Amino acid sequence: MYIEKVRISNFRCFGPTPETIAFDPSITAFIGTNGTGKTAVMQALLRLFGVTYEQRRLRRQDFHVPLDETTSPSERMLFIEVVLAFPELDANDPVAKATVPEFFNHMATDDRGHLKCRLHLKSTWTDDGSIEGATEQRLWAVTTLSDDFDEEKDCHEVSISNRSQVQIIYVPAVRDGISQVTAFLKGRLWKAITWSNELREMLGDTGEILNKKFRSEPGVASITATLKTRWQEIHFAGTDAEPLFRPIDLQLEEFIKKVDVVFRSDEAGKDRNMDDLSDGQRSLFHLAMTAATLDVEDKIVSGSVGDGFQTDGIVLPALTVIAVEEPENNLAPFYLSRIIRQIKDVTKSSRAQALIASHSSSILARIDPSMIRHFQLLRKDRTAKIKGILIPDGEDDAAKFIREAVRTYPEIYFARFVILGEGSSEEVIIPRLAEAMNMHIDRSFVAVVPLGGRHVNHLWRLLSDLKIPYATLLDLDTGRAGGGWGRIKTVCSELIKNGADPKAIFGDELLPAGADASLDSFVGRKIDESLSEWVKNLRKFNVFFCAPLDIDWTMLSAFPEAYQHLETGNRGPVMTIDGKMAVLGDAGDPLPYGADDEDMFRWYRYLFLGRSKPNAHLRILSRLDNKAITANAPEELIALLEHVNANIFPKIAEVKTPSA
C-alpha cells in the first residue's frame, strides 16, 4: 500500500482552493525555492500520521491566513486528506494482501474498480478569547471519492489505534528531533522481540546487586540519609516514607527504554555516544535505523524472521513513510548518493514509502523526473502550487532525451529564468556579457543550459507548465546544411507543436492552405533581407538567433582584434586553405558569404574547430574590460540579456508587492 495523493486546503501556505499532490509509490521528491510549501506538505502528513502527540497536534498557525485579509474571523477551517492505494489487492499474493490492515474496510472504488481508502482530517479553529484559541479536529474514512460527500452517510470515525497503522518518520532540516525519533524506532523493534525469562531473571538478580552496591557507597548513603530526614520532615503519610536511589530499573520493559547506542571506532578506539556524532552522522544513523526497523518488520510479516521475535499478536504499521528534509544541509555530496540508494532499497517493500525535499542537484540527478514535484508560491495570493514534471509519454527518442536532459541539468528546476542554448559556448559568453553590462544575472537563478537544439518543443512545454520563464538562443547556421530558412522552418514548426497560433507566427504570410503549406514555403527560399526580418520577428516568441552562423562567429565578428590576437608562440591560421568549406561542411552553401568573409572563416577554423570553444572564449573575454565588451557586444545577445533582465527585475510600477 502507499499514499497515492494528498489534498490540502487552508493549511499554512495552502489556500482555500484544494491543492492535490500525487505521490509516487516509492519515492517522491519535493523541489522548489525556500518558502514554497515543501515543509508544509510534510507537516500536513505529520498532523495525520505523526508518531507523537506534538506532531499530530494542530496549532493556530497551521490555519491559512489569506494575503488580503484585513479583519481576523472568529473561525477558520482546514482539511488534510490522503488517498491510500492497494496494488497488493490487484495481485494474487496472499502475503502481500496480509499487509493490508483490516480496519480499512471503509473503502471507496475508483472508476477502474480499484479499491482506495480516503482519510479526511477536518479541523476548525475558533477564537474563544484565549491566546491560542480552541481547535477541534475529526478524522474520517470517507466511502466515496467524490468531492461532495455527506458527513453523516459517507464518513466513519477512525480510531487512534487504526490511525497508527500509517506512521511517518520525519527527519527535519534542523536535526533537533532525531534522537527522539530514533528512540521511537528502537521502541518499535523492542516491542517485537520475545524477551527470554533468563534475561528477566538476570536483570532482577544482577540489577538488585548493583542497586544495593550503589546505595552502600558512603557518599550515596550519606545523601540518602540526609534526603530521608528532610523528606520525612514535610511528608507525614505512611506511604512513600523512604526515598531510595535506584540506578537500574528492575522492570525489563522500563529497562530497555533506556538502552542507548554507542559507536566503537576500532579495537583501540573509545566508544562514542550518539550526542558525540556530528549532525550529518546522526542523520545517516537515523536513516540506517529506519531502514533496519523496516527490514526486521518485513521479515516478521513474511514469517522469515527466525527465533527471538513475536510473529503473532504484534501490531506493526502497515505503512511507514520516511520524510527527509534537505539532507544536503548536514551531509557531504559523497553521502547523498548512498542515502538515495538506501532509500530506494527500503521502498522496494510495499510497506515503505519515501519523501525527500531537496535543493541538491546531486540528489535530483539520481531520481527519475516522474518522481519530482515542483513547488511554487503564486505571487498574486502567496499560496502554494505544485506540479509534476511534464515528460513526453513512451520510450521514444524525445522522451529519453528530455528525461536525461532534466537529470543532467536539474538547475532548471530552481531557476528564475532559463536560457536554452545549443552548446557550451553560451555558458561562458552570456554570464560574462551580463557582468560587463552591469546586469545582475547570477548563475544561481539564471540557468544557461545547452538543450535548445533537439526536441526543444518538449522543453518549452515543460518550462511553461512549471511557470518558469525562458528564452531560446539558437544558431541560424546560414550556409550549413539545413541552416538559414531551414532553421526558421524548424522553429516555427516547434512553436506550432507547442500551441502557438500560426496566424501569430506567419502573419500576412500564412497561406490559405494552412500552416503546413506555409512551413513548406521556406524550403528553397532565397537568402535575402526577409531572413533577417524573420529572425527579429521570432523574438516575440522568446527565440533569439545568432546570425548569420552561430554564437562563435558572432563573437569573432564583434571583437575581431581580440579574437585574432596571437599569443606568444602561436602561429595563427593557415591563410591558403578554403576556410568556408571547412566551417560550412561539404554539404554547405558558401554563396551567402562574400570574399571578404574568407579570412573570418580561416580564423573561425583556427580558433574553434578541433579545440575547446568555451576555453577559447574564456581566454579571450578575460583580456577584455567591461567597457570594451559593452561597446561591441553583439546586438542579438544584448537583446537577449535585456529580455532576461526585464523578466527577472520588472519595473517597480509593474510589480504588485503584497502587503505584510
Radius of gyration of the chain (CA): 33
Do 269 and 402 fall into the same domain?
Answer: no
With beta carbons less than 8 A apart as the criterion, state whether 406 and 361 touch.
Answer: no
The model's confidence at residue 452, banded by pLDDT at 50, 70 and 90, is: low
Q: Is the predicted pLDDT of residue 366 greater than 80, yes or no?
A: yes
How much is the pLDDT for 174? 67
Kindly report, residue by residue over 644-655, the tens digit of the pLDDT.
999 988 763 343
Do 275 and 397 fall into the same domain?
Answer: no
Domain end call among 263, 288, 313: 288
The model's confidence at residue 658, banded by pLDDT at 50, 70 and 90, is: very low
Residue 377 burial (C-beta neighbours within 10 Å; 0-12, 13-18, 19+): middle
Q: Which triple of cell numbers denotes residue 93? A: 499474493
How much is the pLDDT for 178? 57
Do 540 and 402 fall into the same domain?
Answer: yes
With beta carbons less than 8 A apart as the criterion, state whether 603 and 580 touch.
Answer: no
Weakest-pLDDT range from 76-85, 291-300, 512-521: 291-300
In a domain, 123, yes or no: no
In a domain, 145, yes or no: no
- CB hemisphere CA count around 455 (13 angstroms): 16
How much is the pLDDT for 16? 96
Identity at 446, one-letter amino acid code: V
- Local structure of residue 63 (DSSP, 8 states): B
In a domain, 242, yes or no: yes
In a domain, 152, yes or no: no
Determine the average pLDDT of the residues in 165-175: 83
Q: Is the predicted pLDDT of residue 395 greater than 80, yes or no?
A: no
Determine the average pLDDT of the residues in 196-222: 95
Weakest-pLDDT range from 169-183, 279-293, 465-479, 631-645: 169-183
Instruction: Write the DSSP assignment of 81-93 as a string of letters.
Output: EEEEE-HHHHTT-
Domain end call among 288, 319, 341: 288
How much is the pLDDT for 477? 96
In a domain, 335, yes or no: no
Q: Is the predicted pLDDT of residue 29 greater than 50, yes or no?
A: yes
In a domain, 428, yes or no: yes
Q: Is the predicted pLDDT of residue 104 greater than 70, yes or no?
A: no
With beta carbons less than 8 A apart as the criterion, state whether 636 and 545 touch.
Answer: yes
Do 256 and 403 fall into the same domain?
Answer: no
In a domain, 255, yes or no: yes
Do 436 and 555 fall into the same domain?
Answer: yes
Do 630 and 493 fall into the same domain?
Answer: yes
Q: What's the rounded Cα separation, in Å, for the pair 47 and 79?
A: 10
3-state secondary structure 96-157: HHCCCCCCCCCCEECCCCCEEEEEEEEEEEECCCCCCCEEEEEEEEECCCCCCCCCCCCEEE
Q: What's the rounded Cα separation, in Å, for the pair 514 and 591?
A: 31
Do 409 and 262 fall into the same domain?
Answer: no
Q: Is the predicted pLDDT of residue 226 greater than 50, yes or no?
A: yes
Domain end call among 241, 261, 288: 288
Determine the average pLDDT of the residues in 163-191: 76
Do 413 and 552 fall into the same domain?
Answer: yes
How much is the pLDDT for 101? 64
Q: What's the rounded Cα separation, in Å, for the pair 425 and 621?
A: 12
List the domain range (segments joined by +) for residue 227. Answer: 189-288
How much is the pLDDT for 654? 42
How much is the pLDDT for 406? 83
Weakest-pLDDT range from 296-310, 515-529, 582-596, 643-657: 643-657
Q: Which triple of cell numbers denotes residue 478? A: 546560414
How much is the pLDDT for 192? 83
Q: Which of 444, 379, 386, 396 is nearest to 416 (CA)?
A: 444
Determine the average pLDDT of the residues in 574-585: 90
The model's confidence at residue 239, banded by pLDDT at 50, 70 and 90, is: confident
Q: Which triple of cell numbers denotes residue 379? A: 505571487
In a domain, 325, yes or no: no
Weakest-pLDDT range from 317-321, 454-458, 622-626: 454-458
Q: Is the predicted pLDDT of residue 407 greater than 90, yes or no?
A: no
Total tally of structural domains belonging to the chain? 2
The model's confidence at residue 268, banded by pLDDT at 50, 70 and 90, is: low
How much is the pLDDT for 480? 95
Task: Please give the residue that has the higher pLDDT: either 337 or 212.
Answer: 212
Kindly report, residue by residue over 589-627, the tens digit of the pLDDT.
999 999 889 999 999 999 999 889 999 999 999 999 999
Q: Is the predicted pLDDT of residue 5 greater than 90, yes or no?
A: yes
Task: Please give the residue that has the higher pLDDT: either 252 or 440.
Answer: 252
How much is the pLDDT for 653? 34
Q: What's the rounded Cα separation, in Å, for the pair 86 and 109?
A: 11
Q: What's the rounded Cα separation, in Å, for the pair 345 and 319?
A: 15
The mean pLDDT of the chain is 89
How much is the pLDDT for 429? 96
